[in-house]
Amino acid sequence: MKMIMAIISDEDSNSVINELGQNGFGVTRLCSTGGFLRAGNTTIMVGTDEEKISEAIEIIKSKCKTRKKAIPNLEMSGGMGVMGAAYPLEVTVGGATLFVLNVERFEKL
């Protein structure tokens, strides 16, 4: 047995969880916060047999889209320690970060 831990955007979470559920995968949802943007994420855990890992990953991949987001880019000006104007910085957000783990033991009580 394997466990997929996927960190996905809150924006994508409902469609990912619904699609996984419709395809027979059990999903546990955890709220999480990313360090860089300090934005809300969803971490999902999917336990499944090894032969179904590719199917689950394809579902996650198809529903998690990357997008551009503008964030404030605060720069120091002239070494004087004075904050300069905030220039927006465009970053790519979304997609998914996946971990596939071996499950030594699984029990449903």
Give the per-residue pLDDT at 71.
74
**Domains and their CATH numbers in the chain:** 2-66+94-102 (3.30.70.120)
- State how far the Cα of 42 lies from the Cα of 69, in Å rounded to an integer: 18
Closest CA to 69 of 44, 51, 47, 89: 89
pLDDT in tens, the chain (109 residues): 999 999 999 989 999 999 999 999 999 999 988 766 567 789 999 999 999 999 999 999 999 988 887 777 765 444 555 555 567 777 777 789 999 999 999 898 9
Contact assessment for residue 46 and residue 64, using Cβ atoms and an 8 Å cutoff: no
Q: Which amino acid is at 4?
A: I
Position 77 scores a pLDDT of: 47
Residues 6+ apart with CB under 8 A from 18: none
E strands of 1-109, at which residues? 2-9, 27-33, 40-48, 66-77, 82-94, 96-102
